[in-house]
Amino acid sequence: ESLQDKLNGAFRTLKGKDRISDINVAATTKEVRRALVDADVNFKVAKDITDRIREKALDRKILISVEPGQMFVKIVQEELTELMGGQAESINIKGDPAVILIAGLQGSGKTTFSGKLASLLKKQGRQVLLAACDIYRPAAIDQLKVLGEQIGVEVYAEPDSKDAVSIAQNAIAHARKIGKKIVIVDTAGRLAVDEVMMKEVEDIKSAVKPSEILFVVDSMTGQDAVNTARTFNQRLNFDGVVLTKLDGDSRGGAALSIRQVVEKPIKYISTGEKMEALDSFYPDRMASRILGMGDVISLVERAQQAFDEDEAKRINAKMRQNKFDFDDFLGQLQQIKKMGNVKDLIGMIPGMGSAMKDLDIDNDSFKPIEAIIQSMTKKERENPDLIDGSRKRRIAGGSGTSIQQVNNLLKQFDEMRRMMKKMNTMQAPGQMKKALR
Ligand code: GDP
């Protein structure tokens, strides 16, 4: 059971009651505390927050409130938000070039994050260079190079060097020479905190004087994440935290207690392996997500990034003229995929997260559909009515699917077109609602 489900359970005891008494507030806060602790929130942090929540609940004289449950949810949400830092915080990219140092344990997602950050900054029109300073894992250099190629950002590496400090320094000199304004330094990690690694990152820090040091931590590691954060902070005095793998068994716990224990803001969250799966950290959104209100704002933002406005207008016009064809459908699928993992997206919709968590959908579910459409000729895509038995056989063969799958897709597409036609013929919003019911 996730923290979200647990808190929902706790609030249920308040629902339907017309009064919040001292007694049922105590029962609910206890449930909240247990849920927080179960989600790897440090016990002391959990106790502090629930104590404050109880005081607030009683203080605000909500005892005869009409909707005690909602009021209580709001108080908890505000507390969680405050606990996670209140405001979203940005990174410092001043300097010529500005140096961003990325540190963390092996496997935490440092290299992936370095690529994502480079891609994000590039989209903002900045000149970025990636520096590969993981000298122990040759594969790490290749991994960064592959990412760099994918996002169109140059990667500075010295595969034969065993001196991470000098690679970092050379990368900065190289950046200056070719006019790059930001250098992201991806460092080596170990499976656990160890002295050699710490010393090396410290040395890189004093040699390159980063404007921003980001500590990357895997949110799935729970209470360990807090301990690792504490150790890294003692040695590096980092500026911000990147919480990765929040797409997994998303434990809000790490976000809650890391901030409290190291007193440094979480700046980014990573929600998947794709380069797009990066969000700024907004404490209020995270609090809402933990409470099951869904991360609707992030969802909208991502949709805005992935969907091209002109393309949307074009598709809209085609729908209105009832000319939506398989090429358009394929284009739409690809745009949805650009938004990131389908399962992550569904998790952001309020109420869907827990309902859909056992459902087996991922981006691979689109593969057979894409393959089928790609095996159609241009004429067939524009006019699916052409597709008879022998064409179906050819398409199934070409796409490595079965005739049954081709039939299903054609049927669904047909239904979709009929639905669009119906919507076109209805003007009044009332009618629209009726059709959707
Ligand atoms: P590093 O050793 O710290 O550089 O870690 P990597 O960047 O190589 O990441 C380790 C593994 O975690 C890789 O398989 C990544 O694809 C994966 N990974 C990184 N970030 C995320 C994330 O946010 N979500 C998921 N599901 N996987 C991630």
Please compute the mean of the pLDDT values over residues 192-216 and round it to a whole number: 92
Same domain, 126 and 208: yes
Omega into 97 within 30° of 0, i.e. cis?
yes
Tokens, residue 219: 């949110």
Q: Is 371 annotated as a binding residue?
A: no
Same domain, 75 and 103: no
Give the model's confidence band at 394: pLDDT under 50 very low, under 70 low, under 90 confident, else very high: very high
If one compares 15 and 164, the residue with the highest pLDDT of the two is 164
Q: Is 388 annotated as a binding residue?
A: no
Whole-angstrom Cα Rg for the chain: 26
Does residue 92 fall inside a structural domain?
Answer: no
Residue 417's domain is classified under what CATH number?
1.10.260.30
Please compute the mean of the pLDDT values over residues 114-132 and round it to a whole number: 96
Whole-number Å distance between alpha carbons of 437 and 168: 60
Same domain, 271 and 144: yes
Reported in sequence order, the residue ranges of 212-355 that DSSP labels E, i.e. its strands, are 212-218, 240-244, 266-270, 278-280
Does residue 374 fall inside a structural domain?
Answer: yes
Pocket test for ligand 1, best of 102, 232, 269, 273 (most atoms within 8 A of CB): 273
Pocket test for ligand 1, best of 112, 130, 191 (most atoms within 8 A of CB): 112
Q: Using a 6 Å cutoff on CB, does residue 109 contact ligand 1?
A: yes
Give the model's confidence band at 239: pLDDT under 50 very low, under 70 low, under 90 confident, else very high: very high
Same domain, 252 and 310: no
Report the atom number in ligand 1 closest to the C-alpha of 248: 26
Same domain, 131 and 200: yes
Which one of 83, 115, 136 terminates a domain?
A: 83
Which structural domain range is residue 320 located in? 303-436
pLDDT score recorded for residue 433: 43
pLDDT score recorded for residue 352: 58
Which value does ipTM take for this structure?
A: 0.98
- Asked if residue 392 has pLDDT above 90, the reply is yes
pLDDT score recorded for residue 60: 55
Count: domains in the chain: 3
Q: Using a 6 Å cutoff on CB, does residue 205 contact ligand 1?
A: no
Same domain, 270 and 310: no
- Asked if residue 344 has pLDDT above 80, the reply is no
Please compute the mean of the pLDDT values over residues 410-415 and round it to a whole number: 90
List the single range of 30-39, 156-165, 189-198, 240-249 with lowest mean pLDDT: 30-39
Phi-psi domain of 187 (left: phi exceeds 0; alpha: psi -120 through 50; beta: other): beta
Q: Identify whether the C-beta of residue 109 lies closer than 8 Å to the C-beta of residue 216.
A: yes
Residue 46's domain is classified under what CATH number?
1.20.120.140
Same domain, 277 and 310: no
Same domain, 77 and 103: no
Which one of 238, 258, 292 terminates a domain?
A: 292
Same domain, 53 and 196: no
Same domain, 312 and 284: no
Global pTM reads 0.69
- Asked if residue 351 has pLDDT above 60, the reply is no
What value, to the nearest 5°, has the Cα angle with vertex 203 and ends 183 and 239?
60
Does residue 91 fall inside a structural domain?
Answer: no
The pLDDT mean for the chain works out to 82
Report the atom number in ligand 1 closest to the C-alpha of 114: 7
- For 185-201, letters b (16+ CB in 10 Å) and e give bbbbbeeeeeeebbebb
Tokens, residue 214: 């980001």
Does residue 88 fall inside a structural domain?
Answer: no
Same domain, 324 and 381: yes
Q: Using a 6 Å cutoff on CB, does residue 68 contact ligand 1?
A: no
What residue's CA is closest to ligand 1, atom 28?
273
Whole-number Å distance between alpha carbons of 32 and 8: 9
Whole-number Å distance between alpha carbons of 350 and 414: 30
Residue 136's domain is classified under what CATH number?
3.40.50.300
Does residue 162 fall inside a structural domain?
Answer: yes
Does residue 126 fall inside a structural domain?
Answer: yes
- In the chain the first and final C-alpha atoms are separated, in Å, by 32
Report the atom number in ligand 1 closest to the C-alpha of 137: 2
Same domain, 196 and 312: no
List the helix and strand counts (H, then E) for the chain: 21, 8
What's the distance, CA 274 to chain centroid? 10
Backbone φ and ψ for 172, nearest 5 degrees, come out as: -70, -40
Beta-strand relationship, 212-218 and 182-187: unpaired
Q: Is 253 annotated as a binding residue?
A: no
